[in-house]
Amino acid sequence: MSDTTTLKATAAGSGASATERFLTDKTGASGSRTDAARVNTLATALITAVHDVIRSHQVTYEEYNALKSWLISVGQDGEWPLFLDVWIEHVVEEVVTAARQGSKGTIEGPYYVPGAPALPSVSSLPMRDTEAGTPLLFQGQVTGVDGEPLAGALLEMWQADDDGLYAQFAPGIPEWNLRGSIVTDDDGRFAVTTIQPAPYQIPTDGSCGRLIAAADWHPWRPAHLHLRVSAHGHEPLTTQLYFTGGAHLQDDVASAVKPELVLDPRSNGTGACEVTYDFVLDPNS
């Protein structure tokens, strides 16, 4: 890992950025309405599940007040996006995509930012002249489930750097570093030069970190590339791609790893690695 980056992401900084992005960018984050019957069903089930935990584990007032204090601090720290994306989102993704026939997806996480620079099918992600890390050529093709290439498909790609830090969520990193929007060629193909990212810890100096410490968990995520793949007439795919042999593949704090999402890059003899991975998109239902 690079020893040139000394500024680190804090829970407060990352949490504030993630919360602001969510409220600004997510459709339905503010003002949308859900059917009252559906709200009643879900809210009642959730509250009942909490009641069951209290009864089955004989929760004390001391424990209840500790929980109340912690829940308040999660909001004050701006860490609800982090908490929900790390410990809850993978089950939502599993349910929502259960019928998908094409490529596997996984969680988006809190670090997506729309509007990354548009790039041609053969390109390099924006990066610093001195970007640390092993160069990686990531290439492949986007098709439909019928095998037809999807020309002009969009791959939004983002990742952590060799220090495990994300642009726009950690200080001292150029705005669009290791973020780009790649458009496939007439055959649905792409070839992107980047670097292999590093494993990283989710921020531990806030409320989520206090939960991790209290439960004696670890805060690590395996190294991964983030992608959102979309094409006209097809369901968008959100996924993360990991690396064979990487640390924490078996105990990802976010429980987001699937066997189908693990890459096996090979050296090309020049000090760089390359890997081919194809995306298959389902048609819109």
177-233 residue pLDDT tens: 999 999 999 999 999 999 999 999 998 999 999 999 999 999 999 999 999 999 999
Provide the pLDDT confidence category of residue 269 given band limits of 50, 70 and 90. confident
Ramachandran bin of 241, using left for φ above 0, alpha for ψ from -120 to 50, beta for the remaining angles: beta
Range of the domain at 104: 9-285
- pLDDT for the residue 173: 96
Q: Does residue 2 fall inside a structural domain?
A: no
Tokens of 184: 């496939």
Q: Does residue 1 fall inside a structural domain?
A: no
- Cα–Cα separations (whole angstroms), residue 156 to 45, 98, 148, 258: 36, 23, 21, 20
Q: Does residue 18 fall inside a structural domain?
A: yes
- Which candidate, 204, 252, 215, 2, places its Cα nearest to that of 106? 252
Q: What is the mean pLDDT of the chain?
A: 91
For residue 236, the 8-state DSSP code is -
Tokens of 272: 């760089």
Half-sphere exposure in the Cβ direction for 65 (13 Å, CA): 3
For residue 167, the 8-state DSSP code is B
- pLDDT for the residue 149: 98
Encode pLDDT of 84-124 as tens digits: 999 999 999 999 999 999 999 999 998 999 999 999 999 99
Provide the pLDDT confidence category of residue 34 given band limits of 50, 70 and 90. confident
Q: Does residue 4 fall inside a structural domain?
A: no
CB 123 within 8 A of CB 193: yes
Q: Does residue 282 fall inside a structural domain?
A: yes
Q: Does residue 217 fall inside a structural domain?
A: yes
Q: Does residue 265 fall inside a structural domain?
A: yes
What is the domain count for the chain?
1
Look up tokens 């019957």; give the residue.
37
Q: Is pLDDT at 60 greater than 70 in this prediction?
A: yes
Q: Is pLDDT at 19 greater than 70 in this prediction?
A: no
* Angle, vertex CA 90, rays to CA 84 and CA 92, nearest 5: 85
Give the count of beta carbons closer than 10 Å to the beta carbon of residue 34: 9
Q: Does residue 3 fall inside a structural domain?
A: no
- Which candidate, 211, 180, 207, 208, places its Cα nearest to that of 194? 180
Which CATH number characterizes residue 55's domain?
2.60.130.10
Half-sphere exposure in the Cβ direction for 215 (13 Å, CA): 12
The one-letter amino acid code at 261 reads L
- Please give the radius of gyration of the chain, using alpha carbons only, rounded to the nearest integer: 20
**Of residues 265 and 23, more confidently modeled:** 265
- pLDDT for the residue 12: 53
